[in-house]
C-alpha cells in the first residue's frame, strides 16, 4: 500500500501509449492528480487503427500475448480484464509457409504441435518438449527478474528472488546465439527457422541475440497467442477507459513542447538543458505555457525525450543510448483483398529460403551514432536482400466485420532497417513487387488484381507518426547478451521526479512489456516521488 501523503501530487504523463496509459491509471488510482498529454488525436500509441474503404486494419501490434499481465493490471485497479477486453484464443497461433511448398501450423497445445511436427517434418514431439521445458526453466530463472522488476534498482538484486536468479544466470544459455541453440535442438532446419523468428519479437537477429531469448517462445506457448474482439485497437481503448475511470485527465491532440527542470546542486536546467549535474522536475511546457508538476512520466521515445523535450542531446544517458544498435523497423502494406483464403489463419509467415542472408542485410550497418541534425548514415546498404520473409495478419478471420463479405483485410509486414534518410519510395516499390511474388507463389493465386484498397507505411512514416527514433519498433535491438541491461531505466537518477516508460525503456517493446514499463514507472514514482 502506498504511504499516506499530505497532499495530492501533480503528475504529467507525456504520451498516451500503452505504457503511459498504464502509469497514468495506476498513479491516479493511488490518489495522484494525473494529466496525460498526447500529441495525436487518439490514445494508444502504436496500437492504432485505420479504415480504408470497407476494410479496418490494426496498424501496430497484431498478437495479444501474456494475458496475465493485463489481468494483473486491471486487478490492481479493482477491475476484471474481461469486463474491458475479450481475448480470443488462436489455434493455430500461426501458419508457416516455406519456399519448398511445405506448410506447418503451430499450436499452443504441445501435444497437437508435436504431432504436427512429426507428421510434416523430421523433428519430433520429444524435441519440442525438451525445447519448451528449457524455455520454462529460463523463465523461472530470469523472467520475473528481467520483465517485472527494475534492473537499475539495487533492491532487485538484493532480494531473495534476485539473488537466487543471479546465481543461476549462467544456466540460461547466454553465450550461444538463438539460432545455434535452435539448430542444435531440432533435427529439421525448418523447425529451427520457425523458432528463430522469435528474435523478431523485439526487432533482433536470431544469429546475434543470445539463446536466452528462448524465453519468448515459452511465453507464447505457455500462455497462448490471442486475438482480441474488435481488434488490437480494443486494447488501447480499454486502457484509455481504465485510466479515465481511475481519475486521469487525458488531453489528446496536445503536444508537450518541453519537460522543465530546476537546478539541484548548482546547474541551470529551466526549459530543458540537462546535459550535466542534477536537477528536479518542475513541470512541462504546453502551448507556450509552463505548467507545474511534481512528477513527469515520459512515455515518449527515450532519444526524443532527451533531444527534444529536455533539449539535452549531449546528456550522458542520451549519448550512451544512441550508441546502442536500434531494433529493426518495418515496411507495411495494408491491403483490402476482395477474396477469401481459407488456408490462411489470423497469423501467417511466408519464410525466405536464406534466413541468415536476410538478417545480414537487415543489420548490415553498424549502430547509428548520428545526433539530431547530423547527416544520415547509409543504413540499409544491401537491403532488401535476395529474399524476404513476409508476415500476414488477417483480423477478419476472428472479427468478420473488419472486411466486406467475401473479403479479407491483410496487414503485411516485412522487417526493415531503421530509417536513416533513405529514399523509401523506390525501396517500397521493389519490396512490394517481391512480396506479391512470394505470396502469389505460396498461395497459388495471383494477388495483384485482388487488392481493392492499399496503404503503405515505411520506416520514415513510422518514425513520423509514432515518434519512435529511426522508426525502430522496439527501441534497441537485443543483438548482445547484455542488451537487457542497456535499456533505459524507468527512473532518472539525474533528474529527480522524471520517469520513463514505453517500448524504448525497460523492459522493452511489445504490448505486455510496455504495460509493465508503465507499472514500473508508477511504482518507482510512488516510492521516490516527492510529496
List, in order, residues 6 or more apart from 253 with CB less than 8 Å away: 38, 39, 40, 41
**Share of residues in the chain with pLDDT > 70 (%):** 91
List, in order, residues 6 or more apart from 498 with CB less than 8 Å away: 259, 261, 281, 295, 296, 298, 491, 492
pLDDT of residue 166: 76
pLDDT of residue 148: 77
Other C-beta atoms lying within 10 Å of the C-beta of residue 444: 8
Phi and psi angles of residue 85, each rounded to the nearest 5 degrees, phi first: -130, 140
Please report which confidence band the pLDDT of residue 5 belongs to, taking 50, 70 and 90 as the band edges.
Answer: low
* CA–CA separation, 76 and 294 (whole Å): 23
Sign of CA dihedral 113, 114, 119, 120: positive
In contact, 283 and 65? CB cutoff 8 Å: no
List, in order, residues 6 or more apart from 3 with CB less than 8 Å away: none
Please report which confidence band the pLDDT of residue 170 belongs to, taking 50, 70 and 90 as the band edges.
Answer: confident
pLDDT of residue 225: 97
Which bin fits 225, alpha (ψ -120 to 50), beta or left (φ > 0)? beta
Helix (H) or strand (E) holding 317: helix 316-322
Other C-beta atoms lying within 10 Å of the C-beta of residue 258: 18
- Of 239, 252, 300, 242, which Cα lies nearest the Cα of 35? 252
Please report which confidence band the pLDDT of residue 283 belongs to, taking 50, 70 and 90 as the band edges.
Answer: very high
pLDDT at 254 over 80: yes
Residue range 167-192: mean pLDDT, rounded: 92
Say which residue the cell 488456408 belongs to: 343
* CA–CA separation, 531 and 529 (whole Å): 7
- Of 243, 460, 219, which Cα lies nearest the Cα of 330? 460
* CA–CA separation, 100 and 120 (whole Å): 13
pLDDT of residue 346: 98
Residue range 429-433: mean pLDDT, rounded: 97
pLDDT at 155 over 80: no
Q: What is the mean pLDDT of the chain?
A: 90
The DSSP-derived string for 38-76 is ESSSSSSTT--EEEETTEEEE-S---B--HHHHHHHHHH
* CA–CA separation, 468 and 466 (whole Å): 5
pLDDT tens figures, 38-65: 999 999 999 999 999 999 999 999 999 9
Per the document, the length of the chain is: 531
Say which residue the cell 546498404 belongs to: 381
Residue range 405-420: mean pLDDT, rounded: 97
* CA–CA separation, 281 and 263 (whole Å): 9
Please give the grid coordinates belonging to residue 188.
529439421
Sign of CA dihedral 338, 445, 195, 202: negative
Q: Where are the alpha helices (DSSP H) in 121-207?
A: 125-138, 154-158, 160-167, 178-185, 189-196
pLDDT at 399 over 90: yes
Please give the grid coordinates belonging to residue 274.
540537462
* CA–CA separation, 344 and 347 (whole Å): 7
DSSP 314: T
- Of 139, 149, 148, 161, which Cα lies nearest the Cα of 216? 139
In contact, 226 and 89? CB cutoff 8 Å: yes
Residue range 443-461: mean pLDDT, rounded: 97
In contact, 194 and 10? CB cutoff 8 Å: no
pLDDT at 380 over 70: no
pLDDT of residue 259: 98
| 3 state DSSP class of 428 | helix
In contact, 389 and 355? CB cutoff 8 Å: yes
- End-to-end, the C-alpha distance of the chain in Å comes to 15
Helices and strands counted in the chain (H then E): 17, 20
pLDDT tens figures, 217-243: 999 999 999 999 999 999 999 999 999
pLDDT tens figures, 454-481: 999 999 999 999 999 999 999 889 898 7
pLDDT at 272 over 50: no
List, in order, residues 6 or more apart from 311 with CB less than 8 Å away: 258, 271, 272, 273, 274
pLDDT of residue 200: 96
pTM of the model: 0.92
Mutual angle of helices 125-138 and 215-223, in 10-degree steps: 110
Amino acid at each position: 500500500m502506498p504511504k499516506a501523503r499530505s497532499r495530492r501530487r501533480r503528475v504529467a504523463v507525456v504520451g498516451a501509449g500503452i505504457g503511459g496509459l498504464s502509469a497514468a491509471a495506476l498513479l491516479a488510482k493511488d490518489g495522484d492528480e494525473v494529466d496525460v498529454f498526447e500529441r495525436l488525436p487518439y490514445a494508444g500509441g502504436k496500437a492504432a487503427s485505420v479504415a480504408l474503404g470497407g476494410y479496418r486494419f490494426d496498424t501496430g501490434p497484431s498478437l495479444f500475448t501474456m494475458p496475465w499481465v493485463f489481468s494483473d493490471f486491471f486487478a490492481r485497479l479493482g477491475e476484471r480484464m474481461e469486463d474491458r477486453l475479450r481475448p480470443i484464443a488462436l489455434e493455430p497461433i500461426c501458419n508457416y509457409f516455406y519456399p519448398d511448398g511445405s506448410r506447418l501450423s503451430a499450436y499452443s497445445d504441445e501435444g497437437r504441435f508435436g504431432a504436427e511436427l512429426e507428421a510434416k517434418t523430421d523433428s519430433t514431439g520429444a524435441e519440442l518438449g525438451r525445447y519448451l521445458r528449457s524455455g520454462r526453466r529460463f523463465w523461472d530463472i530470469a523472467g520475473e527478474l528481467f520483465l517485472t522488476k527494475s534492473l537499475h534498482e539495487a533492491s532487485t538484486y538484493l532480494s531473495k528472488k534476485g539473488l537466487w536468479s543471479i546465481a543461476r544466470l549462467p544456466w540460461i544459455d547466454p553465450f550461444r546465439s538463438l539460432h545455434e541453440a535452435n539448430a542444435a535442438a531440432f533435427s529439421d532446419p525448418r523447425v529451427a527457422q520457425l523458432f528463430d523468428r522469435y528474435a523478431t519479437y523485439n526487432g533482433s537477429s536470431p544469429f546475434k541475440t543470445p539463446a536466452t531469448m528462448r524465453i519468448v517462445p515459452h511465453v507464447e506457448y505457455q500462455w497462448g497467442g490471442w486475438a482480441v474482439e474488435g481488434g488490437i485497437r480494443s486494447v488501447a481503448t480499454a486502457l484509455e477507459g481504465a485510466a479515465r475511470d481511475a481519475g486521469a485527465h487525458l488531453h489528446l491532440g496536445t503536444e508537450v513542447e518541453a519537460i522543465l527542470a530546476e537546478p539541484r546542486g548548482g546547474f541551470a536546467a529551466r526549459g530543458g538543458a540537462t546535459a550535466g549535474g542534477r536537477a528536479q522536475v518542475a513541470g512541462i511546457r504546453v502551448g507556450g505555457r509552463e505548467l507545474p508538476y511534481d512528477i513527469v512520466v515520459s512515455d515518449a521515445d527515450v532519444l526524443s525525450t532527451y533531444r527534444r523535450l529536455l533539449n539535452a542531446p549531449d546528456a550522458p544517458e542520451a549519448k550512451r543510448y544512441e550508441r546502442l544498435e536500434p531494433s529493426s523497423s518495418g515496411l507495411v502494406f495494408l491491403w483490402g483483398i476482395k477474396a477469401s483464403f481459407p488456408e490462411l489463419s489470423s497469423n501467417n509467415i511466408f519464410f525466405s529460403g536464406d534466413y541468415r542472408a536476410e538478417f545480414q542485410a537487415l543489420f548490415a550497418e553498424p549502430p547509428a551514432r548520428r545526433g539530431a541534425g547530423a547527416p544520415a548514415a547509409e543504413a540499409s546498404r544491401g537491403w532488401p536482400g535476395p529474399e524476404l520473409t513476409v508476415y500476414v495478419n488477417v483480423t477478419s478471420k476472428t472479427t468478420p466485420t473488419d472486411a466486406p463479405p467475401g473479403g479479407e483485410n491483410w496487414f503485411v509486414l516485412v522487417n526493415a532497417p531503421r530509417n536513416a534518410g533513405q529514399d523509401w519510395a523506390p525501396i517500397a516499390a521493389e519490396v512490394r513487387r517481391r512480396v506479391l511474388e512470394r505470396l502469389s507463389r505460396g498461395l497459388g493465386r495471383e494477388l495483384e488484381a485482388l487488392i481493392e484498397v492499399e496503404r503503405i507505411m515505411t520506416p520514415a512514416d513510422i518514425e513520423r507518426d509514432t515518434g519512435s527514433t529511426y522508426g525502430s519498433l522496439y527501441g534497441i535491438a537485443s543483438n548482445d547478451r547484455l542488451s537487457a541491461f542497456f535499456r533505459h531505466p524507468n527512473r532518472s537518477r539525474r533528474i529527480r521526479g522524471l520517469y520513463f516508460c514505453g517500448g524504448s525503456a525497460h523492459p522493452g517493446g511489445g504490448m505486455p512489456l510496455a504495460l509493465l514499463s508503465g507499472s514500473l514507472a508508477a511504482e518507482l514514482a510512488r516510492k521516490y516521488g516527492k510529496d
